[in-house]
Amino acid sequence: MSSTDTNTEHPIDMRISAVPDRNGRYGECGGVYVPETLIEALQQLDEVYQKVCNDHHFWERLGDLNRVYVGRTTPLYQANGLTWRSRSLNEDKELGATIWLKREDLAHTGAHKINNTLGQAMIAKKMGKNRVIAETGAGQHGVATATAAAYFGLKCDVYMGSEDIRRQNLNVTRMKMLGANVIPVEDGSKTLKDATNEALRDWMGSVEHTHYILGSVVGPHPFPMIVRDFQSVIGRETKAQALRHISAMPNTIVACVGGGSNAAGMFYPFVDESDVRLIGVEAGGRSDTPGDHAAPLTYGKLGVLHGSMSYVLQDESGQTSPVHSCSAGLDYPGVGPEHSYWKDSGRVEYTTVSDEEALEAFIWTARDEGIIPALESSHAVAKAVPIAAEMHKDEHLIVNLSGRGDKDVEEVARLLGDKL
Ligand SMILES: *Cc1c(COP(=O)(O)O)cnc(C)c1O
């Protein structure tokens, strides 16, 4: 396939990577670490997905839905305000790359999550399953799953920690309006990790008629691969748009990393373009003390969490550490196995941004561009601006703006107080 091809629907033509192997391994990472009762369901999912991969009707149908329902193609937008801000950090007139935003905030439901949930809901239909379940933290994946379930007429139960239910009331109400049932989880820290445990437990007893729509590139094989493939529409569109707007590949791409799905979807089609610098930004939180951040690629060790091997934040005895980020979507102690693989191979650089820096970038984006970004995406903007300042003026940097910030306005107002 030539790099000028603009077919953005079918990921199989883009299967350029050697990973995962047939056992779902990304080097040492990935794999399937689940109880016996789930092995068969995962094998069935793997088989169905292999068939889907060769089914052009499936990808055409999904491409149509992406256009008429999600509002894709999302724009690649030249961010002159942020570019100006970045250039003003530097005296040297030869420096300061042009900054572009890939506008996933404009996708239906307000973030990239819908790219994955529609695809997986179509797979659930194909498998003859009439119920879907999901885990959710901030509620964005819950809302996107409830939306896909409403569209396809599927019954939908969403597991959510009771602490998150309290913090994210707007999204809880949205899910209920969409016809989903929100099930509170009272275990552990009552947040995303605990909701994921509970969703896996449900699935063990319900696999016959239920599909589990996992929300990021995490979990046992084949989930990390499936979610990456559905999200890679972001990177495929971006590649075609870059060729149209700048007649070249971008020099640098920056994306935030929670579980890692928006970053994987953006990076994957560029992995073989070795001249393109890829940078993933984790949640640096309040400090580098354990419990104060959510940055497993920066501070974690290899371990098993939620069915796969990857970098995990853990203490000496292997217990999963508590996490903190101002952004609920990044507040997770694990990360997808492909990111661990990209880190170890050196293909992608990973770094952190603190709560404070992310808040500052939230306000930059609002005031310089008239775009209120998600706090998650603000982490990517916070890193992109100083990096662009050190690049040459002819160069181009793309930020994946993974979502919009309506859900965060109250929290940001609270955190900024008088400074707003
Ligand atoms: C959920 C979410 C994230 C983090 O999840 P990834 O799987 O790492 O992409 C980032 N941005 C937004 C807007 C989200 O809703």
Window from 43-47, 97-101, 143-147, 414-418 with minimum mean pLDDT: 414-418
Which position among 86, 102, 104, 113 bears the catalytic label? 113
Query: What b/e sequence results for 302-319 when a residue is b if at least 16 CB atoms lie within 10 Å of its CB, and e otherwise?
Result: ebebbbbbbbbbbeeeee
The pLDDT score that the predictor gives to residue 277 is 98
The pLDDT score that the predictor gives to residue 383 is 98
Q: 256 CB less than 6 Å from ligand 1?
A: yes
Which position among 86, 308, 378, 402 bears the catalytic label? 402
Atom of ligand 1 nearest to the CA of 216: 7
- The mean per-residue pLDDT over the stretch 97-117 comes to 98
- The mean per-residue pLDDT over the stretch 172-178 comes to 98
| Residue 135 is among the residues annotated as catalytic for this protein | yes
Mutate to test the pocket of ligand 1, among 104, 113, 120, 158 (most ligand atoms within 8 A of CB): 113
| The one-letter amino acid at 117 | T
| pLDDT reading at 297 higher than 90 | yes
Q: 82 CB less than 6 Å from ligand 1?
A: no
Q: Residue 376 C-alpha to ligand 1 middle, in angstroms?
A: 6
Q: Residue 94 C-alpha to ligand 1 middle, in angstroms?
A: 34
- The mean per-residue pLDDT over the stretch 109-121 comes to 98
| pLDDT reading at 1 higher than 70 | no
Do 26-67+112-228 and 74-110+232-419 share a fold? yes
| The one-letter amino acid at 40 | E
Q: 403 CB less than 6 Å from ligand 1?
A: yes
| pLDDT reading at 3 higher than 50 | no
Q: Residue 179 C-alpha to ligand 1 middle, in angstroms?
A: 23
pLDDT digits (tens, 9 = 90+) for 399-416: 999 999 999 999 999 999
Q: Residue 300 C-alpha to ligand 1 middle, in angstroms?
A: 19
The pLDDT score that the predictor gives to residue 9 is 56
Q: 259 CB less than 6 Å from ligand 1?
A: yes
Classify domain 26-67+112-228 by CATH number.
3.40.50.1100
Q: Residue 216 C-alpha to ligand 1 middle, in angstroms?
A: 8
Q: Residue 64 C-alpha to ligand 1 middle, in angstroms?
A: 24
The 3-state secondary structure of the chain, one letter per residue:
CCCCCCCCCCHHHHCCCCCCCCCCEECCEECCCCCHHHHHHHHHHHHHHHHHHCCHHHHHHHHHHHHHHHCCCCCEEECHHHHHHHHCCCCCCCECCEEEEEEHHHCCCCECHHHHHHHHHHHHHHCCCCEEEEEECCCHHHHHHHHHHHHHCCEEEEEEEHHHHHHCHHHHHHHHHCCCEEEEECCCCCCHHHHHHHHHHHHHHHCCCEEECCCCCCCCCCHHHHHHHHHCHHHHHHHHHHHHHHCCCCCEEEEECCCCHHHHHHHHHHCCCCCCEEEEEEEEECCCCCCCCECHHHHCEEEEECCEEEEECECCCCCECCCCCCCHHHCCCECCHHHHHHHHHCCEEEEEEEHHHHHHHHHHHHHHHCCCECHHHHHHHHHHHHHHHCCECCCEEEEEECEECHHHHHHHHHHHHHHC
The pLDDT score that the predictor gives to residue 303 is 98
In the chain, where the domains are located: 26-67+112-228, 74-110+232-419
Q: 143 CB less than 6 Å from ligand 1?
A: no
| pLDDT reading at 336 higher than 80 | yes
| Residue 47 is among the residues annotated as catalytic for this protein | no
Query: What b/e sequence results for 9-37 when a residue is b if at least 16 CB atoms lie within 10 Å of its CB, and e otherwise?
Result: bbbeebeebebbeeebbbbebbbbebeee
Q: 258 CB less than 6 Å from ligand 1?
A: yes
Q: 107 CB less than 6 Å from ligand 1?
A: no
Mutate to test the pocket of ligand 1, among 268, 330, 407, 412 (most ligand atoms within 8 A of CB): 330
- The mean per-residue pLDDT over the stretch 187-204 comes to 94
**CA dist., res. 134 & res. 63, Å (int):** 23
Q: 377 CB less than 6 Å from ligand 1?
A: yes
| The one-letter amino acid at 221 | H
Residue 45 neighbours by CB under 8 Å, 6+ apart: 123, 127, 211, 222, 226
Question: Hey, which CATH number is domain 74-110+232-419, 3.40.50.720, 3.40.630.30, 3.30.70.270, 3.40.50.1100?
Answer: 3.40.50.1100
Q: Residue 263 C-alpha to ligand 1 middle, in angstroms?
A: 9
| pLDDT reading at 420 higher than 90 | no
Q: Is the dihedral of CA 133, 138, 139, 144 positive or negative?
A: negative
The pLDDT score that the predictor gives to residue 18 is 74
What is this structure's pTM?
0.96
Q: 402 CB less than 6 Å from ligand 1?
A: yes
| Residue 308 is among the residues annotated as catalytic for this protein | no
Which position among 104, 135, 163, 338 bears the catalytic label? 135
Query: What b/e sequence results for 222-248 when a residue is b if at least 16 CB atoms lie within 10 Å of its CB, and e otherwise?
Result: bbbbbbbbbbbbbbbbbbbbbeeebee
- The mean per-residue pLDDT over the stretch 278-296 comes to 98
Atom of ligand 1 nearest to the CA of 140: 15
Q: Residue 15 C-alpha to ligand 1 middle, in angstroms?
A: 23
Of 67, 86, 300, 322, the C-alpha closest to 193 is: 322
